[in-house]
Amino acid sequence: MHLKEPVTGKRIQLCSSVAEDAAFILGLRMDPALNKHLNPTSPKVEDQENWIRMVYDKPGDYNFTIKDLAGNRLGAVAIYQIDEQAGTFNWGRWIIHPDAPMYTAMESAMLVYYIAFHILGLKKTLSDVRIENRNVVKFHLSYGAHIYRESDLDIFYEFYKEQFPAMLQKFKGFHNLSLPAEA
């Protein structure tokens, strides 16, 4: 699926990925320093373009290119495995260019949650991170995500819409988001 307009934060925006983003995203995904914890992908730009086109209108799958406010690409992230009935989602496919400003990770995570909770109307993330991906595990725990299960490969965590305002308060220097009043 895609959003008609980018969602803009303080210094970055999440734009629905399009075929023109394929070479950039593939470059990140093929970088051995960045792809240790990602599923393998074809090294062909055409295959990446076709995948982006295929998921562009796929229900329950939103793929974003992270850009600065000038439109320069900084990374990619996705919201997927949406279960509208349960109000749950997963997010990941998160990869950030090594030269991106340090605030890119935190602000992109907050924008992901803003989209999921306040644009898509979801209530909870049920996400997984590879156990060896210690920095990302620590990152999720830093803003209040809770581990609810572990397997041999993954740590599964949850984070609720009700926790999001506290996250925004804790990291208020990273964003300019304001939440809509709940009815």
Per residue in 37-95, pLDDT tens?
Answer: 777 788 999 999 999 999 888 889 999 999 999 999 999 999 999 999 999 999 999 99
CA distance 61 to 79: 6
Domain tally for the chain? Answer: 1
CB 113 within 8 A of CB 79: no
CA angle 168-145-170, nearest 5°?
Answer: 25
Is residue 2 situated within a structural domain? Answer: no
The answer on pLDDT for 183 being more than 50 is: no
Q: For tokens 């796929």, name the residue.
A: 58
Q: Which residue segment(s) compose the domain that 63 sits in?
A: 7-174
Please give the structure tokens belonging to residue 177. 């988001």
Is residue 167 situated within a structural domain? Answer: yes
CATH number at residue 138: 3.40.630.30
Is residue 83 situated within a structural domain? Answer: yes
Is residue 135 situated within a structural domain? Answer: yes
Which is more confidently placed, 116 or 31? 116
Is residue 143 situated within a structural domain? Answer: yes
Identify each DSSP E strand in 11-61 by its residue range. 12-16
- Please choose, from the candidates 71, 138, 149, the residue with its C-alpha nearest in 3D space to the C-alpha of residue 105: 138
- Please choose, from the candidates 39, 53, 99, 54, the residue with its C-alpha nearest in 3D space to the C-alpha of residue 75: 99
Model confidence pLDDT, tens digit, residues 129-141:
999 988 889 999 9
Three-state SS for 148? strand
